Every structure is written in C-alpha cells, then in structure tokens.
Chains A and B, each alone.
Chain A
Amino acid sequence: MAESTAIQLKRRRGLVAVALRRLRGDVPFYLLLLSVSFLLLFPFYWGFITSLKFEKEIFDFTGNLLWVKNPSLANYQTLFKTPRFFIWLRNTMLVSTVTTVLSVVVSIMAGYSIARLKFRGVTAASVIVFVTYLAPKGLLFVPLAQILNDWDLLGGLPALMITYPTFLIPFCTWLLSGYFSNVPVEPEECAMIDGASRIGAIIRVTLPMAWPGILTAAIFSFTLSWNELLYSLAFVRGEENRLLTNGVMSAFARSDIYFWGPLMAASTLASVPVALLYFLFMDRFVGGITAGATKG
C-alpha cells in the first residue's frame, strides 16, 4: 500500500518534470509569439487606452505608458454628442445593409450558375468575375463619378448603394461559386424527383446547405462596405450624407487640430463589432478567404 503510493508519487513527479521540461523548451517559442503579437496588436491597445484618457493625459508621456491614470469615458460622450453622429451611423448601417443584401442575393444566383450549371460561356463568365474582382477601386472612380453625375445620382447615399456592389458582387460571386461547387448535387436531385421545381429545390435544399458560405459572403460584404473610404469621399456631398468614416474625420481632424481622444474612441467603437463578428465566425472566415484565394 505504502509502496504503491510512493510509486504513484514518483510517477507523478516524473510527469510534472517532463511537462516542465517541455514547457522550458517552448520558452523561446512563446517569447517570439509574444513579441510578434505585441508588434501587431500594440496599435490597437494604444488607440484603446488613448480613447480612455482625458485631453491632458493624452499628451503626457510621464509614468507608465501602457496604463491609464484616470480612465474616463469622456471621449465617447464627446463622440455621441457630436451633431449628426447618429445620422452618420444610420447612413453607414443603411448603406452597408442595403449593399450587402443586394450583393449577396445577386452573387448567390451568379455563383450557383457558374458552379453548377453547364451552358455556353460559363468559363468566360467565371473569368470575368475573377478579373472584376481584381480591378482596384482606384481604376474606375473618376468615370464612375461622371456617370453618377449624368444619372443625377451624385451626392446622395444611393450613389453608394449602387456603386458598392461593383466590388462586392465579384468578390461574393467568386467566394460562393467556390462554395457551391463543394455542396453535393444529389439532395437537390432527390427533391426534384419528389416533385419540387428546380428553383424550389435550390432554395429549399441547396441554399441551406451552403449557408456557411453565404454567411461568410455577407459578413465580408458588410465589413467591406463599413470600411469603404474612396467612394464615400468621391461620390457623396454634404454633412447629412456623410458616413461614419468621413464624418468622424471631418469633425475631429480639422486642418491642423486633431482631437485624438474622440478619434480613438471612434476607432475603437468601429472596430469592435467587426472584430466580434469575426471572432464568432473565425473558422469560416479564414476558410472562406483561402477558399476564395486559392480554389476560386
């Protein structure tokens, strides 16, 4: 009895030693990981703690730089009290939602068509989608502004609602066609044998199976719209029509005076929903990107 406990103890001690030794071997690795993480994440941390500081402390570098002496939410209050802040927020939500829904629906159709149907020109269609996906926004905004002007749309939010899909549709179609080609065909055929129409079978059978891909496309579209700068600067006029991005900048970065507190509060606030969405769906997200980037 006593002997066996001794053996057990010895064995346990041995295990602990092995675990410790292994951990010690990992120390350089974890140090490297920590320093890389620090380099990549420090800006966010700095922005976040700046957003919690009073004006005076923001420009005061004495003491511990990585800590806040008098944390307060004053900058967030300033931000919310900005005239039109909630209008900009509403504009951003509105434009992002409309463009996301529009682009995802259109891309589901196009993506399904390219992945699943056999017709003349399908290869050409997939090439066109890929090429338009690669076209940077910087290439076409000058003529687009002119065209919007011709159509009497320049200046208001509809200008953004119809132009954002130009970069969202190619991306989502590409991503979704990759996704649809991996969804099995048989269930859809079974549904049709059971009497469903083809469209009915697609909607009731195939789409539910493809929902992770559709969700990825939607999250991506929403983020890209939320993130957009060039078109919202070029195609929209007037305080009332600003989005969060250019609205916040115009309010707190005037000529040479920058109000870093509210600016950092805005950065923190705008980043949190995106980061949360992404954490919730990370695996699909990463899978989606690489599927998009490699499988096409």
Chain B
Amino acid sequence: MTVAPVAPHDKAPAVYARARNSGMRWGTLFHRDESLGYILLAPGFIVLALLMAYPFVYAVFLSFTSKRIGGPATFVGLENYTKLASTDLFWKTIWNSIYYTLVALVFKFVGGLGVAVMLNRPFVGQRLAKALLLLPWIIPTVFSTLIWWWLFDPAFSVINEVLVVKWKLLSKPIPFLTDGKTAMSSLIMVNVWRGVPFFGISFLAAMQAVPDELLEAARVDGATPWRTFWSITFPLIVPVVGVVALISTIGTLGDFDLPFLLTRGGPNDATTMFAVTAYTLSLSSGLIGLGAAVSMTMFPLLAILVVVSLLQVRQRQGVS
C-alpha cells in the first residue's frame, strides 16, 4: 500500500506556520495533516462502513436466522449451516467453485505467460496487437458472455459446425452447456478467454521492467533464452505475477456473471458456485438466512487469500 514518502510539513514548516498564524480555525483544520487526513477520508469510509462493514455484520447475523423474504428474522443458531452441510447442493457449490477457480487459474497463468513472452519483442504493429488482444478483458462481461452463449447454442453452434461438419474432426457435436461435465469446461474456457489477456498484459509490463543489462549479461555468458527466462526474468516478475494471480483467484471464486448467464448453475447443479447458489436460495427461493449462510462459507477461503495478497503487496513495497 502506498504510504506518504515525505510528509509535507516536515519539508516546509514555514508554510504551515504561516497558515496557523493566519487565524481562522477552519483554515487550520483543512491545513494540518492530522485533521485534513481524516476529513478527506471521511466520505469514502462512511460509504464503506454503511454499505460494506454493516452488510457484512448483517450477513453474519442473517446466517444464524431463519429469515425469509418478508418474514421475521428468528434466531436459529447454526441450523442453516447444519442444514446446508446435509445437502448435495452445498458440497457441489464448494467443489465447483474451487475446481473452476483452480483450473481456470492454471490455464490463465500459462496462457498469460505465453502471450507475454510472445509480445515481449519489438515487432511491427506491437501497439495494435496489445490493444486488440486485451479486448476480451475490456468488453463488458455480460455482452461478451452473450456472444459465447450463442457460440455454445445447442443446435446452431458454429464451433460444432466447423468441428463436425466442415472439418469432420468429431463424430457428434459437443454438448457445451447441456452436459454437466462439458458445461464446467465451457465455463472455464470462457473465463480463461477473458482472463488470459489481463494476465498477459500485466506479465508483459513486468517483463519490460526487467533491466536489459541483466539479460545482456546472461546472453554474454552463453545462457540459452529458455534458461535466461527461468533464471532471470521469471524470478523478477514473480511479485507481479503473484499479485495478479491472487486478485484473479479472489474474483473467480466470487464469480457470478459467467455461471449465472451461461448455465444458471445447471445442468443439475453441475456448475453452481457460491454467488449463484446464494442468489438462487436467497432471491429466487426467498430463503435469505440460508443464502447468507452460503455467502458466509465463502468467507474463510476469501480471508486467507486476502491476507496472503496483503502480505505479498506489502512485502513488495518494503512497507513494514
């Protein structure tokens, strides 16, 4: 995190002294770091307190109640959690979320590294290539997912048309979203398609920050490009790679848009994940307490990931 490198008043005491002498109380309040800091933080932090901290506490509370839409919130202790633990839906939700996140992460990581290595050389049209390749990540998810929905159409998928009819590589069409196993793979594919550009461009930026002298020295010493990459470039970009991977993992774990739009968690709950299950239980079926409990089971996992990211970011900055 960013911490002010030098406090302005250490540098220019005269300015502050003059302001203090200028009399007006308000002036001082808006002048001194100790007061101005809190004043400037206040609006944002009030929003965060009211709409993030309070909902979080409220969610913990709701998860211990039998609250339904329009009904009272009666305290039921751990009943929601024990009820959830006895359902297939719950275990499927956890397993699906973790599977989706991990498999997609591996592909995004490898793909992103590949794209970065590919673009990390001067060539005609590099700027254009970078801009175009980032498009899947830039275009609003809802709309790009709509296109994938059409590409995955059970009867008129152009992918199946090419693979089965034109190239005759497959004997029968792939049931992209209608079969449990393939549906999960299809979701992962779209997530990877969206994520690879982001990973690639972030990795590329990190690679371009690697000092040329180091690479030159390795070349002079006769290291192969492969060796140079793994012994010099990769270790140097690990901090960026790590943060990008962690942020992406957290986002994927809580993903709602993709699974909701493409499969609504189906077929037969094969692709349901934390956010989708919480949505169906609480808003479609009206079981607010149960839905809140589903969201809360995601929390420990998230908390671990957030703490790791925090340590990673702070270590990188050398801020104690």
**A interface with B by C-beta (< 8 Å):** 26, 29-30, 32-33, 36-37, 39-41, 43-44, 46-47, 50, 58-59, 61, 65, 106-107, 109-110, 112-120, 122-123, 125-132, 134-147, 162-163, 165-166, 169-170, 173, 177-178, 180-181, 185, 188-189, 192-193, 197-199, 223, 226-227, 229-230, 233-234, 245, 249, 258, 260, 263-264, 266-267, 270-271, 274-275, 278-279, 282, 286-287, 289-290, 293-296
Given A141-B295, A145-B283, A275-B139, 7 other A-B residues pairs in contact with their CB atoms under 8 A: A40-B133, A118-B37, A122-B3, A137-B254, A165-B51, A197-B31, A293-B243
Establish whether residues A229 and B6, one from each chain, have CB atoms under 8 Å apart when the complex forms: no
How many residue pairs between the two chains, A and B, have CB atoms under 8 Å in the bound complex? 330
**Cβ of B78 < 8 Å from any Cβ of A?**
no
Establish whether residues A29 and B41, one from each chain, have CB atoms under 8 Å apart when the complex forms: no
A275 to B127, CA, bound (A): 15
Interface segment, B150-158, B168-176, B211-219, B227-235? B150-158
11 contacts between A and B (CB under 8 A): A41-B132, A41-B136, A110-B45, A114-B3, A117-B37, A138-B254, A230-B257, A233-B279, A263-B150, A267-B147, A296-B1
Establish whether residues A110 and B295, one from each chain, have CB atoms under 8 Å apart when the complex forms: no
- Closest CB in chain A relative to B68 CB, distance in Å: 11
Given A43-B151, A65-B158: A290 touches B202 (CB 8 Å cut-off):
yes
Establish whether residues B147 and A185, one from each chain, have CB atoms under 8 Å apart when the complex forms: no
When C-beta atoms are compared, the residue in chain A nearest to B125 turns out to be: A33
Establish whether residues A125 and B41, one from each chain, have CB atoms under 8 Å apart when the complex forms: yes
Interface segment, B83-91, B102-110, B193-201? B193-201
Q: Which of A112, A113, A132 has a CB less than 8 Å from the CB of B48? A: A132
Establish whether residues B306 and A134, one from each chain, have CB atoms under 8 Å apart when the complex forms: yes
Establish whether residues B139 and A271, one from each chain, have CB atoms under 8 Å apart when the complex forms: yes
Establish whether residues B2 and A290, one from each chain, have CB atoms under 8 Å apart when the complex forms: no
Establish whether residues B15 and A293, one from each chain, have CB atoms under 8 Å apart when the complex forms: no
Given A136-B302, A178-B2, A274-B139: A264 touches B146 (CB 8 Å cut-off):
yes
SS class of chain B's interface: helix, strand, loop or mixed?
Answer: helix
Establish whether residues B261 and A294, one from each chain, have CB atoms under 8 Å apart when the complex forms: no
- Closest CB in chain B relative to A38 CB, distance in Å: 11
Contacts of B48 in A (CB 8 A): 128, 132, 166, 169-170
**Cβ of B177 < 8 Å from any Cβ of A?**
no
Given A44-B147, A125-B45, A188-B8: A139 touches B118 (CB 8 Å cut-off):
no
When C-beta atoms are compared, the residue in chain A nearest to B28 turns out to be: A198
Establish whether residues B282 and A119, one from each chain, have CB atoms under 8 Å apart when the complex forms: no
A192 to B18, CA, bound (A): 10
Which bracket fits the contact residues of B? 35 or more
A263 to B130, CA, bound (A): 28
A144 to B41, CA, bound (A): 23
- Closest CB in chain B relative to A30 CB, distance in Å: 8
Given A230-B256, A293-B202, A296-B2: A223 touches B62 (CB 8 Å cut-off):
no
Given A135-B52, A143-B55, A147-B58: A229 touches B260 (CB 8 Å cut-off):
yes
A58 to B158, CA, bound (A): 10
Task: Report B286-320 CB contacts with A as 1/0, cut-off 8 Å.
Answer: 00100110010011001001100110010011010
Contacts of A165 in B (CB 8 A): 47, 51
Contacts of A61 in B (CB 8 A): 156, 158, 161, 165
**Which residues B100-125 have CB closer than 8 A to chain A?**
115, 118, 121, 123
Contacts of A33 in B (CB 8 A): 118, 123, 129
When C-beta atoms are compared, the residue in chain B nearest to A162 turns out to be: B51
Contacts of A233 in B (CB 8 A): 260, 279
Q: Which of B7, B40, B142, B205 has a CB less than 8 Å from the CB of A112? A: B40
A115 to B148, CA, bound (A): 41
Contacts of B226 in A (CB 8 A): none
Q: Which of B12, B31, B257, B278 has a CB less than 8 Å from the CB of A189? A: B12
Q: Which of B35, B247, B302, B310 has a CB less than 8 Å from the CB of A139? A: B302
Closest 8 pairs between A and B when the two form their complex, measured CB to CB? A136-B254, A138-B275, A126-B1, A118-B7, A119-B37, A113-B40, A138-B254, A47-B147
Establish whether residues A275 and B138, one from each chain, have CB atoms under 8 Å apart when the complex forms: yes
**Cβ of B225 < 8 Å from any Cβ of A?**
no
When C-beta atoms are compared, the residue in chain A nearest to B161 turns out to be: A61
When C-beta atoms are compared, the residue in chain A nearest to B201 turns out to be: A286
**Which residues B10-61 have CB closer than 8 A to chain A?**
11-12, 14-15, 19, 27, 30-31, 33-38, 40-41, 43-45, 47-48, 51-52, 54-56, 58-59
Task: Report B176-204 CB contacts with A as 1/0, cut-off 8 Å.
Answer: 00000000000000000100111001100
- Closest CB in chain B relative to A45 CB, distance in Å: 10
Given A197-B31, A286-B205, A293-B202: A267 touches B143 (CB 8 Å cut-off):
yes
Establish whether residues A282 and B36, one from each chain, have CB atoms under 8 Å apart when the complex forms: no
Contacts of A163 in B (CB 8 A): 51
A113 to B310, CA, bound (A): 20
When C-beta atoms are compared, the residue in chain B nearest to A189 turns out to be: B12
A198 to B243, CA, bound (A): 36
Contacts of B98 in A (CB 8 A): none
Q: Quick one: which of A46, A139, A180, A188 has the most chain B CB within 10 A? A: A139
Contacts of A115 in B (CB 8 A): 2, 4
